[in-house]
Amino acid sequence: MSTPVIKIENLVKRYNELVALDHFNLEIEQGEIFGLLGPNGSGKTTTINCILALLSFDKGTVEVFGETMAPNKYKIKREIGIVFQNVAVFNELTVYENIDYFCGLYIMDKNTRKQYVEEAIEFAGLTEFKKFYPKKLSGGLLRRLNIACGIAHKPKLIIMDEPTVAVDPQSRNKILEGILELNKKGATIIYTSHYMEEVEQICTRIAIMDKGRNLAIGTKEELKMMIKTGETISMEVLELENKYMEEIRKLNHVYQVDYADNKLNIKCSKGKHNLIRILDYLQQNQIAFGRVYSELPTLNDVFLEITGKELRDK
Amino acid sequence: MQVFRAYMKILKKTMPSLSIYIIIFLSLSIFLSGSGKQSKISQFTSSKVNIAVINEDEGMLGGELKTYLGTIHNVVELKNDREILQDELYFRNVEYILLIPNDFTKKLEIGESENLCQNVKVPSSYTGKYLDSQIEQYISTLTIYVSSNIDEKQAVENTARDLSQEVKVNFLSQSVNTSKSDDYYYFLYLPYVFTSVIILSIGSILMTFNIKEINERNLCSSMPIIKKNFQLVLGCIITVVAVFALFMSVAIGIYGNSINIVKAVFYMINAIAFAAIVTGLGYLISVFVNNLNVLNMISNVLGIGMSFLGGIFVPREVLGDNVVIFSKFIPTYWYVNVIELIQNVESNRSLMNEILINIGIEILFAIAIFAGALAATRIRSDARKQIS
Amino acid sequence: MFIQLLKYKIIKMFRTKDELFWCLAFPLILGTLFYISFGKLSEKQESFQCISIAYIEDQTKKDEQFETVLNVLSEEGEDQMVQVVTNSENEAKELLLNKKISGIIYNTEEISLTVNDSGINESILKEFLNQYIQKRETIMNIARSSPEKLAQLLESESSNNNSLKEISFTDASIDPMSNYFYSLIAMSCLYGCFAGMSSAVDAKANLSTLAARRIAAPTNKMKLILGDFLGAVLVQFACTMVTLLYLLFVLKIDFGRKLPYIVVTILVGCMIGIASGLFAGSIGRQSEKMKSSIILTFTMVECFLSGLMFGDMKDIIEHHAPIINRINPAALIVDAFYSLNIYDTYERYTKNLVSMLVIAGLLCIVSFLVIRRERYASI
């Protein structure tokens, strides 16, 4: 097995009283698109800053490409591309100049750089806006510029901290496609976001963190397995007496039943044939129903269940 | 009072950086009141100066000149070494060097009068000119006596005796001192200090309100612009009052015992009027500036510029006539007028009217600038609407 | 690579238009103000300006000779020294009280002067009267002892006024007000602190995300900072050179003939300016606002002590606390110009320049050490 791209062990970071990272562990293999999920303030950005050796930490180790990360490990830094949450570009420089500047911090050779910059501009769909100043760009274009600045030098590891905040669906799709494309070309990607659909769409592996701890890690399927909910069945039922509800609740695998506004929601834990069993029951008792939906758990459910529960606990 | 409350909160937040300005400028004005006096000593109060006399004269008259100068100044003995002399002059251990050449007596005896001695002095200093005229007077008097064929010793004696003559100087009123008091300098330099401190403090707070997004958000709200401006001005006034109170209490602390009450009251009114002017200026500037560094530079240039043109840093007498006419358009001119008049108000109550007129003009300045500033916020907000 | 960094820093600075504009405009505005404030000052001090006075005489006991002299001096024309406004004592006192005249000259039993202030005009009047009565004494003595020579002596006396010759240790002439302009140049150099400060902000990840992005790159921090530093110095240098050229060719201020040395001084001065900004930006964790106010007040105090507001301030410091003049960058810059003009040797100048380089170097090294390996406790 090859060395992991990133290996974080027992990372502890405190801001005075607040523990931002609490014995945090993480391993990311090459070629992954790794989703780092967590509510605001859960420690995602802190983790990233520690990986980049921007931030000092109290305990633990951070290894990137098998080497301990440090501010002057330029060889490692050369292979990392970073897209920060906040747009970090020079307002005084044009789109082209900005990308050229940041690319220039990585790529010495002039011709290579020129080619890379052009490629990045094309990648981000900024060709028409080369001469624009950042202030004149719309929100989506600005985000794309922010990304272009981070990836122009073709890094092997790309860290993206919520790159799609405040971006319209068109731009977002463009960005997501771009990320997949970069990944196809061999880049390992760390991706943080609040948008579950995005993460579900592109990430190969996901970690959910909260309060500085890694709560769950795995592929999305694995994560979904971890939670109680297996299937949510909902249907329109005009009238439902309480006794029937109680009986439904006692069916196999059913663990939660709600009825309101003529809508019946049934949550089932893992197991097969849940839908058929419920429909059978309703028919037996001659309860009329319509419009039946059966939904498998989304990442959103996973996220809410894992992090939400944590919050309730405390 | 939402805007006002926000202003006060920001004020509290900016307090640490403001206090740096205030502390520095406060110490500057105390320092200035002491040293301004020193830098303005004129020949009226003739003081002893450190000088060097290098006498190489083969005759006796050179020595006599040196002795004469020794009676009115401190003659520092120095070797005739160019390097040493340069250094001594450079470090102001001596302010004037007189070189008496070996043919001084000889030349003087045959009645030659050109270039009898050489001097090196601190360039363009008052002391230099003062000493020049003393030495020239001595040499010319001595020349007359020597040429009249009397004994050289006698000539030297006569010269010294003649030069001890001094015109009698009377002062019109007893209160006129040859040197001005420290409080005069404290208040004289106050405009510079006020301009810097007040523009920086209210400007840096108001700038926050003029940030594009915040300003637009304010404009969108249901609060009339007039009301918003009024609250901001109120905030400014409170800031300025605080600064003013601080500077005045320092003044009272230092000069309170020695100062006449009438003088003190006028000083205060004058300072209030000027503070009002710079408050308006600060408000006006903040409308157009959105960069802290630029605000810093503007406050600096305004402070220094107005102080020079108004006759604070250099006495008005040395300004050109045209400059003085121009400087009437600068508030510091009127402020300084009042300060000068206050010096004599004790002995001449009729000056009170004039003082009030000058202060009135300052208040007019303040009103005009405030009106301009409020109009500017209006125009600017309108322009924004048209653009976007 | 380095060129690239430098290039973009310069482009960046030129596009920060408002700041650049003011950096350029302020020295020019102040220079012009200085110029109009005392452009004519030197002439004014050398030749007497016309002073308004009152002249009161006692018909019987007056000194006729004095009246003649006074008449000559109050003749209208270029050389007019005094203007007699009134001969009435009451009116004179009134005028003097209201500062419409500078003094009252009494020509009665003895000549005396009444003033109400102690400014320059009063001093001139006093000095003039002193010289008159001293000369009168001399002439009376001669008239008593050797009357036959009197006429001849008086004649030679009137032609004699050049017994002193001012020499300088160098042959360059010094504009009387040059200290103000030297200080102005020093200020212009030190205004580089603003550019230095933004360089620091762009290099400290805890001050801006932009810096975080730059630091995450594999470029050596030394290179980053040096590129920024050099770029800022060059732009500041260009600004100050514009100021210098303006003073030299538009206002025609005399800066002596050692122009190359002056240019070098300005270059080093700009280095100090940028380095102080860099320094203030690097050390400590205060907010940008705080840092900005610290560095500005510092710069202004430096300029103040070097004589930007009062030309003699540097001399006063030299008397009381000479050490300040040795370490105050503004004073060092002013001193360097000054010693170029005063001395024909370069020893003092070199000393100043070396001190400046040492200060700039120290500031840079400390800033660099602080920024270099830093990991931040919080971002």
Give C221-251 pLDDT, tens digit per residue: 888 888 899 999 999 999 999 999 999 898 8
* Cβ-proximal residues to B34 (8 Å cutoff; 6+ apart), any chain: B182, B185
- The rounded mean pLDDT for chain A is 86
Mean pLDDT lowest among B172-181, C38-47, C242-251:
C38-47
Q: Does C177 touch chain B (CB under 8 A)?
A: yes
Region A253-279: mean pLDDT is 82
Q: Among C77, C117, C79, which Cα is nearest to C101's?
A: C117
Phi, psi of C166 (to 5 degrees): -80, 125
| C290 to chain A, closest Cα gap in Å | 23
- Chains B, C: CB pairs < 8 Å: 288
* Alpha carbons A27 and A9: distance in angstroms, whole number: 8
CA-angle at C243, arms to C239 and C248, nearest 5°: 145
- What pLDDT is stored for residue B208 in this prediction? 85
* Alpha carbons C280 and C303: distance in angstroms, whole number: 17
Point out the residue among B18, B44, B308 whose CB comes nearest to the CB of C118: B44
Q: How confident is the model at residue C373 (pLDDT cuts 50, 70, 90)?
A: low
- What pLDDT is stored for residue C156 in this prediction? 66
Check pLDDT > 80 for residue C171.
no
Mean pLDDT lowest among A38-52, B142-156, B172-186, C34-48:
C34-48
Check pLDDT > 70 for residue C47.
no
Q: Among C115, C315, C80, C46, which Cα is nearest to B44's?
A: C115
* Percentage above 70 pLDDT, chain B: 90
- What pLDDT is stored for residue A169 in this prediction? 84
Please indicate whether, in this complex, the C-beta atoms of C127 and B38 are within 8 angstroms of each other: no
Residue pair C224/C64 in contact by the 8 Å Cβ criterion: no
Residue pair C185/C333 in contact by the 8 Å Cβ criterion: yes
Q: How confident is the model at residue B41 (pLDDT cuts 50, 70, 90)?
A: very low
Region C65-75: mean pLDDT is 82
Residues in chain C closer than 8 A to B136 (CB atoms)? 161, 163-164
* Cβ-proximal residues to B3 (8 Å cutoff; 6+ apart), any chain: B209, B218, B223, B227, B228, B231, B232, B235
Encoded tokens for C142: 């001669």
pTM for this structure?
Answer: 0.78
- The rounded mean pLDDT for chain C is 83
Residue B169 bridge partners (DSSP):
C113
Please indicate whether, in this complex, the C-beta atoms of C374 and A71 are within 8 angstroms of each other: yes
Helix, strand, coil % (nearest 5) of chain A?
A: 40, 30, 35
Residues in chain A closer than 8 A to C214 (CB atoms)? 102, 105
Please indicate whether, in this complex, the C-beta atoms of A101 and C4 are within 8 angstroms of each other: yes
Encoded tokens for A272: 């097969």
**Residue C75: burial class (beta carbons within 10 Å; 0-12, 13-18, 19+):** exposed
Q: Does C89 touch chain B (CB under 8 A)?
A: no
Q: Among B62, B39, A216, which Cα is nearest to C309's?
A: B39
Encoded tokens for C114: 């009444």
* Alpha carbons C212 and A86: distance in angstroms, whole number: 11
Exposure string over A117-135, b if 16+ CB within 10 A, otherwise e: bbbbbebbbbeebeebbbe
Q: Which residues of C touch A (CB under 8 A)?
A: 1, 4-5, 8, 11-13, 15-16, 205, 208-210, 212-221, 224, 372-379
Please indicate whether, in this complex, the C-beta atoms of A74 and C218 are within 8 angstroms of each other: yes
Q: How confident is the model at residue A256 (pLDDT cuts 50, 70, 90)?
A: confident
Quick: pLDDT tens for C90-102. 888 888 877 788 8
Encoded tokens for C264: 């070098």
Check pLDDT > 90 for residue C80.
no
| C22 to chain B, closest Cα gap in Å | 7
Q: What ipTM does the predicted assembly reach? A: 0.77
Encoded tokens for B15: 């307090």
Q: Which of A270 and A52 is assigned the larger pLDDT?
A: A52
Mean pLDDT lowest among A100-104, B157-161, C147-151:
C147-151
Check pLDDT > 70 for residue B382.
no
- What pLDDT is stored for residue A128 in this prediction? 93
> What is the enclosing helix (H) or strand (E) of A81?
strand A80-83
The structural domains of chain C, with segments of one domain joined by +, span: 2-40+175-372, 50-146
* Cβ-proximal residues to C53 (8 Å cutoff; 6+ apart), any chain: C82, C83, C84, C85, C101, C102, C103, C104, C105, C125
Mean pLDDT lowest among A250-259, B215-224, C43-52, C77-86:
C43-52
Check pLDDT > 50 for residue A49.
yes
- What pLDDT is stored for residue B173 in this prediction? 66
Place of tokens 């709560």: A215
Please report all neighbours of A, defined by 3+ CB atom pairs within 8 A: C
Point out the residue among C23, C116, C348 whose CB comes nearest to the CB of B171: C116
Q: How confident is the model at residue C175 (pLDDT cuts 50, 70, 90)?
A: low
Point out the residue among C120, C300, C318 whose CB comes nearest to the CB of B318: C120
All structural domains of chain A, each given as residue ranges with its CATH number in brackets, are 6-225 (3.40.50.300), 228-296 (3.30.70.100)
- What pLDDT is stored for residue C374 in this prediction? 67
Check pLDDT > 80 for residue B217.
no
Check pLDDT > 70 for residue B186.
yes
- What pLDDT is stored for residue C315 in this prediction? 77
* Alpha carbons B112 and B89: distance in angstroms, whole number: 29
Region B273-300: mean pLDDT is 89
Residues in chain C closer than 8 A to A93 (CB atoms)? 8, 11-12, 15
Point out the residue among C153, C156, C164 whose CB comes nearest to the CB of B135: C164
Residue pair B108/B64 in contact by the 8 Å Cβ criterion: no
Region A286-296: mean pLDDT is 83
Quick: pLDDT tens for B79-110. 888 777 877 777 677 888 888 888 888 888 88
CATH number for the B50-163 domain, one of 3.40.1710.10, 3.40.50.1370, 3.40.50.300, 3.90.550.10? 3.40.1710.10
- What pLDDT is stored for residue B387 in this prediction? 43
Q: Do chains B and C touch (3 or more CB pairs under 8 A)?
A: yes
Please indicate whether, in this complex, the C-beta atoms of A102 and C217 are within 8 angstroms of each other: yes
Encoded tokens for C291: 């840092």
| B61 to chain C, closest Cα gap in Å | 14
Region C298-325: mean pLDDT is 84
Name the residue of chain C whose CA is nearest to B196's CA. C297
Place of tokens 């400060």: C197
Q: Which of C243, C297, C351 to mutate to test the interface with B (most CBs of B within 10 A)?
A: C297
Residue A294 bridge partners (DSSP):
A233
The structural domains of chain B, with segments of one domain joined by +, span: 2-40+180-387, 50-163
Please indicate whether, in this complex, the C-beta atoms of A54 and C379 are within 8 angstroms of each other: yes
- What pLDDT is stored for residue B376 in this prediction? 85
Residues in chain A closer than 8 A to C210 (CB atoms)? 88-90
Which own/partner contact pairs does A141-147 have at CB distance under 8 Å and 24+ positions apart?
A141/A171, A142/A87, A142/A89, A143/A87, A143/A167, A143/A171, A143/A175, A144/A171, A144/A174, A144/A175, A145/A87, A145/A89, A145/A95, A145/A98, A145/A99, A146/A83, A146/A84, A146/A87, A146/A88, A146/A89, A147/A83, A147/A175, A147/A178
Could you list the beta-strand ranges (E) of chain C. 51-57, 82-86, 103-107, 111-115, 164-166
* Alpha carbons B319 and B337: distance in angstroms, whole number: 15
Residue pair C96/C104 in contact by the 8 Å Cβ criterion: yes
Q: Do chains B and A touch (3 or more CB pairs under 8 A)?
A: no
Mean pLDDT lowest among A43-52, A62-71, C68-77:
C68-77
Please report all neighbours of C, defined by 3+ CB atom pairs within 8 A: A, B
A129: DSSP letter? G
Q: Does C285 touch chain B (CB under 8 A)?
A: no
- What pLDDT is stored for residue B289 in this prediction? 86
Residues in chain C closer than 8 A to B92 (CB atoms)? 315, 318-319
Point out the residue among C1, C213, C375 whose CB comes nearest to the CB of A102: C213
Q: Does C354 touch chain B (CB under 8 A)?
A: no
Q: Which CATH architecture has domain C50-146?
A: 3-Layer(aba) Sandwich (3.40)
- The rounded mean pLDDT for chain B is 82
Place of tokens 């906040």: A86
Check pLDDT > 60 for residue C40.
no
- What pLDDT is stored for residue C221 in this prediction? 81
Q: Which of C38, C66, C83, C163 to mutate to test the interface with B (most CBs of B within 10 A)?
A: C163
Exposure string over B45-80, b if 16+ CB within 10 A, otherwise e: ebeebebbbbbebebebbbbbbebbeebbebeebee
* Alpha carbons A237 and A280: distance in angstroms, whole number: 14
